[in-house]
Chain A
Amino acid sequence: MADLLASPERPSPTVKPAGFRSARRGRTASRYTPVLSLALTAPLLLLLAVGFLYPIGALIKLSLFMPTLDLSAYRKIVEQPIYLAIMARTFRIALLVSILSFVLGYPVALAMASLNRRLATIAAAAVFIALWSPVLVRSYAWIVLLQRNGVVNTLMAQAGLINAPVKLLYNEGAVILATTHVLLPFMILPIFVALRSIPRELVPAARNLGAGPATAFLRVTLPLSLPGVFAGSVMCFILALGFYITPALVGGSGSMMVATLIGQQATVLLDWPFAAALSTTLLVATLVIVLVFRKAFSLSKGFASVD
């Protein structure tokens, strides 16, 4: 920040000797020749090409040509209401998961970024332990909690709230709950980073200028943490769109999501062109959403100044 503030006072001369300029630019990249840079990144590029670009190309080709251009797979998605319904449900669940993650995750991120050392440590530990434990374990944990004779049903029955066990598992609610739980760290961590980068003295400054604690939060902390909220939301939303394990475990037939459908088509029904068409649709939808978010993000003036 100090550099940023000080630099306009001493405008650097625009014309510099070439040698000086390249030395100034001296970031790691320019120290290597283009050939060497390429050689160093080649293994990764190769891996990307073979393991990512080629399969995606093959996937798109598979969905469009069989063996001549044929859009029937895509037509199937549009024409059969069941598939559109699954698409719509997937987006709805992803949206609800993002919103829920934000609502639940923001306070945790706040606690992690708080000045209270002990509180910050506890919150960070909770987040990282959750992040490090396998998705499968976390999903099964929800089955243990929510099943017919699970912890929640037992407790509610003992408290006299219910007479017979309630069906908590294998529905959309369970999918949203478990997916939110798995994806929470992806919301919390970007918000935490954004909160941590807010200069410490801004909230005291707002308080000093007449803002109460709530106003200071709404006018200063929240707007300045929005870049983190955006990043976390995009991440959660996109991960939720293609989420497979958790919906497959805690979801039922009435709460099927696209990833599960794709898996079913590819491995059970062996309708590869249709699976490919579904995958391509999901990919395109995801890319569009990322681009829209990025556009909205870069247009939100002033956030660029948050360092």
Chain B
Amino acid sequence: MIGQSLSLQSLSKHFGRAAAVDNVSFDIAAGEFVSVLGPSGSGKSTLLTMIAGFEPPSAGRIAIGGYDITGVAPNRRNIGMVFQKYALFPHMTVLQNVAFPLRMRGLAREAIKDRVKQMMELVQLVGFDERYPSQLSGGQQQRVAVARALVGEPPVLLMDEPLGALDKNLREAMQLEIKRIQTKLGATVVYVTHDQDEAMTMSDRVAVMAGGTLVQVGAPSDIYHRPRSAFVAQFVGKMNFIDGECQHDDADTCHIRVSTSLTLAVPSPALHGADRLRRGRAVRLAVRPESLSFAKTDGALALPGTVEAEIFVGPFRLYLLRLATFGQPVVQAQLATSTHVGPFARDERVTLYAARDAFHVFAAPEA
């Protein structure tokens, strides 16, 4: 049956001494769309490989709809999968490709015909039955791959960076298309990607992976607004980092010295369950470009800096600003094109403002 729950329990995969996936536990509800987001080498593809059954896990269990499938051969799992390069069979027509999983199950000819027809309608690819994959465009091949993966009504659909080979416009169109099909069928999808926009756009939940472990799992807005580590903060969306030193952390507000003359009072990381920061602990302040606004300096100081460059992006202008804080980092700030207050000259002194809540505090790596 399509759309069942998937449960990963303490799943690990070791290659020699290196752990590609290290003790990952994760429950996905039936009908949920979950993206596994991570840089290359983070273990996200290995995770998918184990769910599909191509590699046995070194430890842990995989269950679908409550049934343990850890030791089940890949061809008996009935998990749908869309591969990075589609993996369509080049010697078979579109029809034969989509019918393949049904024929493997020994369905009657008429039943196969009906099911394939329904599927081709769903992916809006009627009339392409007799073509070979090489005669299709990238987007069409993608649709065939999706149809083939879904025709067997898999309890879980795995997608391994399926849109990587497409150009930007087509990729965005296919994101919505995949989301439409997933919602319509109620399919459970595990979608592996290194593209954070893709993960944000399509997912109910995003699981950020790094170094073989899940570093944060949550709704896209949660991941974006409440990153729990400096890694997630910089990997998802754009983020500025300002180095500082903790002056005082009262588990509610954290006072951070960012230059010899300036201390900022920001929400304490203890609010999100982290340890309170010691006095004198080196920290990194993170703030998103769109949370920063700035104006020409007129006496009062919030965060002093100078303009390094102005870049027109379309809906907004992106500014590179050098802060007069420790280490003089260059940060990014955005001003909506419509509310443009400039122009700013290069090296013009400005003051940056951001809401107190826009700042995230992370302990810096210990020297």
Contact = CB atoms under 8 A, between A and B. Distances in A.
Contact of A210 (B75, B84, B93): B75
Contacts of B105: 210
B146 to A, nearest CB: 13
Interface stretch (A243-251, A285-293, A299-307): A299-307
Nearest to A210: B104
A55 interface: no
Interface residues of A, number: 32
B87 A211 contact: no
B167 A209 contact: no
Given A204-B74, A209-B101, A8 B137 contact: yes
Interface string A87-118: 00000000000000000000000000000000
A4 B141 CA distance: 11
A211 B85 contact: no
A223 B166 CA distance: 28
B75 A9 contact: no
A306 B133 CA distance: 10
A41 interface: no
B316 interface: no
B43 to A, nearest CB: 18
Contacts of A211: 75, 100, 104
B152 interface: yes
Given A209-B100, A209-B148, A305 B91 contact: yes
Contact of A223 (B91, B148, B165): B91
B90 A305 contact: yes
Interface residues of B, number: 42
A167 B77 CA distance: 56
A220 interface: yes
A6 interface: yes
Interface string B141-152: 100000010001
A14 to B, nearest CB: 17
A9 B170 contact: yes
Interface in B80-102: 80-81, 83-87, 89-93, 100-101
B75 A204 contact: no
A215 B75 CA distance: 10
A2 B164 CA distance: 10
B134 interface: yes
Interface in A198-227: 199, 201-202, 204-212, 215-216, 219-220, 223-224
Contacts of A204: 52, 54, 74, 83, 87
Contacts of A9: 137-139, 166-167, 170
A299 to B, nearest CB: 14
Interface string B318-339: 0000000000000000000000
A224 B91 contact: yes
A1 interface: yes
A161 interface: no
Contact of A6 (B79, B87, B165): B165
Nearest to A201: B87
B274 interface: no
B86 to A, nearest CB: 8
B73 interface: yes
B271 interface: no
B52 A208 contact: yes
Contacts of A208: 52-54, 74-75, 77, 79-81
Contacts of A5: 85-86, 137-138, 141, 165
Nearest to A6: B138
Contacts of A210: 75-76, 78, 100-101, 104-105, 152
Contacts of A2: 85, 165
B301 interface: no
A216 B283 CA distance: 55
Contacts of B76: 210
B136 A8 contact: yes
B91 A302 contact: yes
B83 A305 contact: no
A303 B132 CA distance: 10
B143 to A, nearest CB: 13
Contacts of A6: 138, 165-167
- Which among B75, B91, B148, B165 has the highest number of chain A CB atoms within 10 Å? B91
Nearest to A204: B54
A199 B170 contact: no
Interface in B48-77: 52-54, 73-77
Nearest to B84: A201
A215 B100 CA distance: 11
Contact of A302 (B85, B90, B140, B152): B90
A303 B91 contact: yes
Contacts of B84: 201
B90 A224 contact: yes
A1 B84 CA distance: 12
A202 B86 CA distance: 9
Nearest to A4: B134
Given A1-B85, A210-B101, A302 B167 contact: no
Contacts of A205: 81, 83, 87, 89
Q: Which 8 A-B pairs have the closest CB atoms?
A: A210-B104, A8-B137, A205-B87, A305-B134, A209-B101, A201-B87, A5-B138, A207-B74
Interface of A: 1-2, 4-6, 8-10, 199, 201-202, 204-212, 215-216, 219-220, 223-224, 302-307
27 contacts: A5-B85, A5-B86, A5-B141, A6-B138, A6-B166, A8-B140, A201-B85, A201-B87, A204-B52, A204-B83, A204-B87, A206-B100, A208-B53, A208-B75, A208-B81, A210-B78, A211-B75, A211-B100, A211-B104, A216-B75, A302-B91, A304-B134, A305-B91, A305-B135, A306-B90, A306-B91, A307-B134
Given A210-B78, A210-B100, A215-B75, 13 more contacts: A5-B85, A5-B165, A8-B137, A8-B140, A201-B83, A207-B53, A208-B52, A210-B75, A210-B104, A210-B105, A211-B100, A305-B134, A306-B90
